[in-house]
Amino acid sequence: MMHLPILPILLPLLAGILLLLLRPLGLQVQRMVGFAAAFALLMLVVWLFDSALAGQRQVYALGNWPAPFGITLVFDQLAALMLLVTAILAVGALWYAIVTKIDAQGSHFHVLFQMQLFGLNGAFLTGDAFNLFVFFEVLLLASYSLLLHGGGKERTAAGLHYVVVNLVGSTVFLFALGALYGALGTLNIADMAAKVAELPAEREGLVMAAGLLLLLVFGLKAAMFPLYLWLPAAYARTSAPVAALFAIMTKVGVYAIIRVHGTVFGEDAGSLAYFYAPWLLGLGLITLLLAALGVLAAFRLRFQVAYLVLASVAMLLIAVGLHSETGLAAALYYLVHSTLLAGGLFLLADVIVRGRGAYADRFDPGMRLPHHALLGGLFMLAAVAALGLPPLSGFFGKLWILQAALEHPWRWAVLATVLISSALLLIALARSGSVLFYKVKDRSDAADPVLPTRIPAFGLSLVAVLWLLAAVPLLVVLAHPVAEVMQQIAAQTLDTAGYRAAVFDPAVGGK
């Protein structure tokens, strides 16, 4: 039991190494082993999530070196939630890649997929800021190759933009870590929180500057204004299963803000307590408006879904920027909803594109799709959930965030921005659904492109779409128990004293 916290890191790492060794045996073997590893990770994480809710924090000191001198992994309820969402997303994305044979379009897809999970899980579990940087680099290295999987001019251009932007972000990350280490003498998150609580006044400026640099880096990962321009092209032009997995990538940035800034600059940080929150809230509001305009202006379905991801990130930034327990609980509920919905939308968009033939994902009226009513119904379900309209989970998430905002001095700005952006999203998605499913031709003209009579692997690919979109009704049916769990996770996350106690005395565990 004491080694449980490291298992979500070891499993994809060992699976990736095994897949590399099995490559000579062919793609079919890799598919079976890769999917078995992803499903095994899901089962492991479900078990760990249940144990996290019932018990205390678990701290794992690699090499048995105590904090803050060694590498520390901290498994708490927030980390368990992020691991669970990632595992659910990974199973759906990998299944879709296999049944549509997208994984055969390039080399090492399954190895890179496992390495991506290795980096993601490590980022969620690490209790050290430098090792957070290391795991960021691991997941980014895998994402560079996954983004380019299948090749193509547009995909390569978007990939190069993504690589360059993230390399700059990694450099700034190191500068921020160097400044923090120079000022505090440690990069262990719990130890930094303890040092900031006793920080001399003459060092507050340096630590604040380093904290803002870190916010800049995490904002880049989350695609926060003005650092979001890389996201639409990167997500829209990569393959559908990779884009679905990337739905969690922006949430890594949000998680890092909650974990690092929320712990180091939490309520015990004296004059630096929550100094970052106004920046986060203000930039989140701007990001939401620009994302809504992007959804409205999108000329292709995949770009529209990419901007919807950006809008969901903006809602999370706003909720976290409220720096309250209610706001954080609402953010976690909305995070689960928006991440799985975005993954399902990317896969659904790809199914629609494969049915439209030469029309692809352009918003041009075309012929009636195969399985027209089913795909139209699923698109309407996803659109209503993304808009935050009742009775689906997006409505509960947005309403909860707005309720948390009522206690904040910026409440009118939050209410106005969310309502305006929701109206823009409604116009955009109503137009998209109309073009794709209502303004269709029953007869083709001579100049019209020929549409496929069937969508390849439709039934099997729809399994992955339904797997992810099932979160939308489930979060409604189970709204009350899920909300209670999110409140519990938020309370533990904001208990920075308990976090420090758990890290420095693992026997205590913290609550």
pLDDT per position as a tens digit, 269-284: 888 889 999 999 999 9
CA distance 217 to 176: 9
According to DSSP, residue 201 is labeled: G
Tokens of 48: 């760990």
CA distance 67 to 259: 17
Q: Supply the pLDDT for residue 188.
A: 92
CA distance 89 to 87: 5
Provide the percentage of residues in the chain whose pLDDT is more than 90.
Answer: 64
pLDDT in tens, 88-98: 999 999 999 99
Provide the percentage of residues in the chain whose pLDDT is more than 70.
Answer: 96
Q: CA 344 → CA 224, 235, 248, 307, 390, distances in Å? A: 22, 14, 12, 15, 19
- Nearest C-alpha neighbor of 490 from the set 335, 307, 282: 335
Name 272's Cβ contacts closer than 8 Å, sequence gap at least 6. Answer: 196, 199, 204, 207, 208, 211, 265
Tokens of 128: 């050290």
Q: Supply the pLDDT for residue 149.
A: 85
pLDDT at residue 510 tops 50: no
pLDDT at residue 62 tops 90: no
- The number of C-alpha atoms within 13 Å of 453 and in the hemisphere containing its C-beta is 0
pLDDT in tens, 166-179: 899 999 999 999 99
Phi-psi category of residue 317: left, alpha or beta, with phi > 0 → left and psi -120 to 50 → alpha: alpha
CB 331 within 8 A of CB 405: no
Phi/psi of residue 433, nearest 5 degrees: -60, -35
Q: Supply the pLDDT for residue 105.
A: 87
Q: Supply the pLDDT for residue 189.
A: 93
Q: With b meaning 16 or more CB within 10 Å and e meaning fewer, what string describes 151-190?
A: eeeebeebbeebbebbeebeeebeebbebbeebbebbbbb
